[in-house]
Amino acid sequence: MLGNTRALANALVLLLALLLRLSLLPQETSDYTYYLSPWYDYIVQRGGWAALKDNFSNYTPPYLYGLVIASQILGFLPKLTAIKLLTFPFEALAAFILYRLVKLRYPQGDWPRLAAFTFLFAPTAVLNGAYWGQCDIIYTTGLLGCLWALARRRYVWAWISFGAAAAFKLQGIWLLPALLVGALKREFSWRLLGLVPLTYGFLMLPAALVGRPWGELWGIYWNQSQTFDRLSLNAPNIYQWVSNDYYGSILPWALALAGGLIALFIWVASRSPIPLTFPNWLQLSLISLVLVPYLLPKMHDRYFFPADVISILYGFYFPAYFWAPLALNGISLFSYFPYLWGGAPISLNVLTLLLGAVLLGLFAHLNLTVSNNDL
């Protein structure tokens, strides 16, 4: 009887999560109007897969494959609905991976289910795909797959999953500093890094086979980086405190500063005595996912989305630090306000300070200690 009641409760919660998302599908944003809708139309007008030989989108082909499939399988639905439904299977898969990872920590009890449900109702998880029409959950699911492989010490699959995430969106590389710590600590071979370009090339292959030049395929991320001349695009990071009037003069220094501080984090973490158990992998990963977009210029509001998701896992592994997912998801939510609704109840300057405090708290929890011999 208890099992039936629990199964019914699970089904009701999942149904509620689905209905919540379905209720948001009619919402349109300018990203849909100016980008997603024209891309979808281009694919339909040029016969589906054949359209992929052309350079009509600034996204890598893996996302466009999804649009092709949506146009062919879901073409009977409104275009906006077909595009947004692409994220639903990945949200379900992400919830399942979270469930499995938390089950490693709590083999008995309800905590794994609660972790999955927490993700399904997290505000940015709901808004990002079903409301905004963005696809950040897809590459974030790849990063979760990487963490699952790290937990199982299947390092080849960890790098392949990471490579798939990075091939889908450049923001997948936010996890790279944590993985480099593992390489420097000789947890796995440096040769595994070669799986990243191999995975990227493999995922570009369908577009190449229909005629897209390899030069274009390898240059997509460089072209993306030239799209916006802004130090920050509503991202709650340190460039909220710098006027965009200085964009041209400060950009090289900003990149150098970010690269130097990220390299320092990698070096200190690799020289510390912390063992690479999965909880420590999780700590390094969350710091990496917050630190990189916090320090880099030209970041969008959505670029902390992987941190939002993985912070939920962090909170269940370290219950005393459940303030971290609450803070990170709240900060991300309020940073969405300027773009989605034209104003923010909390200024981005304040959100930047709050996020800096969260980052310091994460560092304090990790407690990196370098011995005198390593200095």
Domain boundaries of the chain, sorted by first residue: 2-374
Report how far residue 357's alpha carbon sits from residue 11's, in angstroms, rounded to the nearest whole number.
38
Instruction: Tell me the pTM.
Output: 0.95
Query: Are 318 and 365 a contacting pair, CB within 8 Å?
Result: yes
Tokens coding 241: 């405190």
- Would you tell me how many other CB atoms lie within 10 Å of the CB of residue 302? 26
Angstrom CA distances, 235 to 43, 187, 279, 310, 334, stand at 31, 34, 28, 18, 10
Query: Are 175 and 162 a contacting pair, CB within 8 Å?
Result: yes
Report how far residue 62's alpha carbon sits from residue 33's, in angstroms, rounded to the nearest whole number.
21
Query: Which distant-in-sequence residues (6+ apart) come within 8 Å of 41 by Cβ?
Result: 79
pLDDT at 1: 60
- Would you tell me how many other CB atoms lie within 10 Å of the CB of residue 364? 10
- Cα end-to-end distance, the chain, whole Å: 61
- Measured in whole angstroms, the distance separating CA 318 from the mean position of its chain's CA atoms is 21
Q: What is the pLDDT of residues 307-341, one digit of tens each?
A: 999 999 999 999 999 999 999 999 999 999 999 99
Report how far residue 31's alpha carbon sits from residue 128's, in angstroms, rounded to the nearest whole number.
12
Angstrom CA distances, 308 to 123, 177, 220, 365, stand at 10, 18, 26, 18
Residues of the chain with pLDDT under 70: 1-3, 368-375
- Would you tell me how many other CB atoms lie within 10 Å of the CB of residue 183? 18
DSSP per position, 197-240: HHHHHHHHHHHHHTT--HHHHHTHHHHHHTS---SEEB--SGGG
DSSP per position, 25-81: TT---HHIIIIIHHHHHHHHHTTGGGGGGS---SS-HHHHHHHHHHHHHSTTS-HHH
Query: Are 70 and 281 a contacting pair, CB within 8 Å?
Result: no
Element (H, E) at 300: strand 299-300
